[in-house]
Structure 1
Amino acid sequence: MPRNPGAAAVSRLSELPPLERQVIRCLRFWCSGPAGQGALGRELAQRLGPDTAERVADGIAELLHVTASHARRPLLGHALDCPCAGGDECVFARFVSLAAEGAREEAVLMASLIVRPDLALCLAGLAEDVGLGLMRGQEPRILQ
């Protein structure tokens, strides 16, 4: 068994759905510290506009703060430029994707594997907001 099974590569980013790739990218930027968080904010602002980007960035910060503060164990990830996707990253990305797609029960179930069960509903709500915010950046801009 690998020493850190949560970091074991289980996929390649290029094989994941767009929202899940975005979530992993956000997670990696955020976990890389203040410089990464600033870069994430700038990237979001380019895609979503400044107001929406600020709300999404705040949502990401809250989601990751609650996750890190109450996780059953630390989530492990890969470097920002790594083409692989680790097990923890994929689970977290799928969790956010399910929440954004409206699969609330499944998202809450996954959240209860990440944090204490009493926080699962709250975490799923935060994930839904983040996922929906990120999905806005995928929509074609017809009116500007």
Structure 2
Amino acid sequence: MNAPVRNRGGAPVGFVSELDSVEAAAVLYLRLWSDGPNAKERVADDFVARLGADAGRHALHNFEDLCRLCIHYGRRPLMRHHVTCKCLGADEACFANFVATAGEGLREDAVMIATVLVRPDVALPLTDLERVAVFEIQDSPDA
């Protein structure tokens, strides 16, 4: 008899309020982007409002590529909590840690963290892509 498989990626490991502003934004944007077309539009509007039209669209394009790569090449489905949930899931914590590490320019560490999210052959392209978007969000006056 086989034991049921339990996806630990959704297990609560903390609270979103314990994250810094970049990590919390990464989790919120991931949740919104995954919550359907209306929520994706909210992400787009926020990027443009924070960064201006051109930089916002560029950052949004990178963020959408990041999300698509995580979905298409993920080791398993990326688990997320509801948009308004105060809990932080294990996969969300890994995603936030990846975004923050890539944003700090710690490329080798970011690649290592990315291998938890996606196949190893996709980790480097994922890290290069995210670094651009994160710097743009961090340089925003409202971030």
- The answer to whether the superposition gives a TM-score over 0.5 is yes
In the alignment, does 2:93 pair up with 1:87? no
User: Which of 19, 23, 26 is the matching residue for 2:22?
Assistant: 19
CA distance in 2, matches of 1:80, 1:108: 27
Q: Which secondary structure does the structure 1 equivalent of 2:60 belong to?
A: helix
Q: Which secondary structure does the structure 1 equivalent of 2:129 belong to?
A: helix
1:66-105 deviation digits (Å, cap 9, x = unpaired): 1110001011001111111111001011101101101111
Q: Which secondary structure does the structure 2 equivalent of 1:77 belong to?
A: coil
CA distance in 2, matches of 1:15, 1:113: 22
In the alignment, does 2:38 pair up with 1:3? no
In the alignment, does 2:58 pair up with 1:55? yes
Unpaired stretches in structure 1, ≥5 consecutive residues: none
In the alignment, what sits opposite 1:127?
A: 130
Unpaired stretches in structure 2, ≥5 consecutive residues: none
| Deviating 4+ runs (over 2 angstroms) | 1-4
Determine if contact 1:96/1:130 at 8 Å carries over to the other structure. Answer: no
1:35 Cα shift? 0.7
How many residues end up aligned between the 2 structures?
A: 139
In the alignment, what sits opposite 1:40?
A: 43
In the alignment, what sits opposite 2:80?
A: 77
Cα RMSD, aligned residues only: 1.6
Moved more, 113-122 or 32-41: 113-122
Q: Which secondary structure does the structure 1 equivalent of 2:81 belong to?
A: coil
The normalised TM-score by structure 2 is 0.91
Q: Which secondary structure does the structure 1 equivalent of 2:127 belong to?
A: helix
Determine if contact 1:22/1:134 at 8 Å carries over to the other structure. Answer: no
